[in-house]
C-alpha cells in the first residue's frame, strides 16, 4: 500500500461542495430515528404541553391516585394535590413514594379536585410518561367516587 500513487491530485472541496455535504448530513440525521424523535419533541414543546405524574395506592385494579402533579416544559409547577383515596395504601407503594394515610387525613377527595384538574389538562397538550398506567389510575379513582369518566 505504501507504493500506491494517487491517479490524480486531490483538489480541495469548493464552498458549494462543503454546503451540499453539510446539507446531506443534516438530512440524513433528520431522517434517522433520533431525528424523528427530536422533531416530535420540538413540536410538542412548541405547543407548551403539561406533563402529568401520579402517585398511587398501588398497582392493582382497585388502586387509586393519591397525588397528582402537573408541570410545564420548564419544570414550573402548574398544579399539585394530594387525594384521600377510598382504599388503603399498599405498603410496597408507600415504600416507593413515602406517602402515608395519616398524611392524607385532610386531603380533598376526587370530586373536590376533578373539575380543577380537568381545567388544567384540557387547555394544553398533555404528556404522560406512563400514560396507560396513569390514565387507568385516574379512571379507577373517578369510578371509585361514582364520577363518570
Secondary structure of the chain in the HEC alphabet? CCCCCCCCCCCCCCHHHHHHHHHHHHHHHHHCHHHHHHHHHHHHHHCCCEEEEEEECCCCCCCCEEEEEEEECCCCEEEEEECCCCCCCCHHHHHHHCCCCHHHCCCCCHHHHHHHHHHHHHCCCEEECCHHHHHHHHHHHHHHCCCCC
Whether residue 123 is predicted with pLDDT greater than 90 in this model: the reply is: no
* Top-tier CATH class for 47-144: alpha beta
pLDDT tens per residue across span 71-117: 999 999 999 999 999 999 999 999 999 999 999 999 999 999 999 99
pTM above threshold 0.75: no
Mean per-residue pLDDT over the chain, rounded: 90
Q: Are the C-beta atoms of residues 90 and 63 closer than 8 Å to each other?
A: yes
Q: Are the C-beta atoms of residues 64 and 57 closer than 8 Å to each other?
A: yes
Whether residue 17 is predicted with pLDDT greater than 90 in this model: the reply is: no
Domain ranges within the chain, ordered by starting residue: 15-44, 47-144
Amino acid at each position: 500500500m505504501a507504493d500506491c500513487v494517487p491517479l490524480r491530485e486531490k483538489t480541495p472541496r469548493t464552498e458549494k461542495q462543503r454546503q451540499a455535504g453539510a446539507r446531506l448530513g443534516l438530512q440524513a440525521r433528520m431522517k434517522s430515528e433520533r431525528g424523528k424523535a427530536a422533531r416530535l419533541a420540538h413540536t410538542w414543546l412548541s405547543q407548551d404541553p403539561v406533563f402529568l405524574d401520579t402517585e398511587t395506592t398501588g398497582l392493582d385494579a382497585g388502586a387509586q391516585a393519591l397525588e397528582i402533579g402537573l408541570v410545564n416544559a420548564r419544570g414550573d409547577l402548574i398544579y399539585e394535590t394530594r387525594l384521600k383515596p377510598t382504599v388503603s395504601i399498599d405498603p410496597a407503594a408507600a415504600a416507593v413514594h413515602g406517602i402515608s394515610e395519616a398524611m392524607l387525613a385532610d386531603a380533598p377527595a376526587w370530586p373536590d379536585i376533578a373539575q380543577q384538574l380537568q381545567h388544567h389538562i384540557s387547555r394544553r397538550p398533555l404528556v404522560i410518561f406512563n400514560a396507560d398506567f396513569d390514565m387507568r389510575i385516574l379512571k379507577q379513582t373517578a369510578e371509585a367516587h361514582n364520577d363518570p369518566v
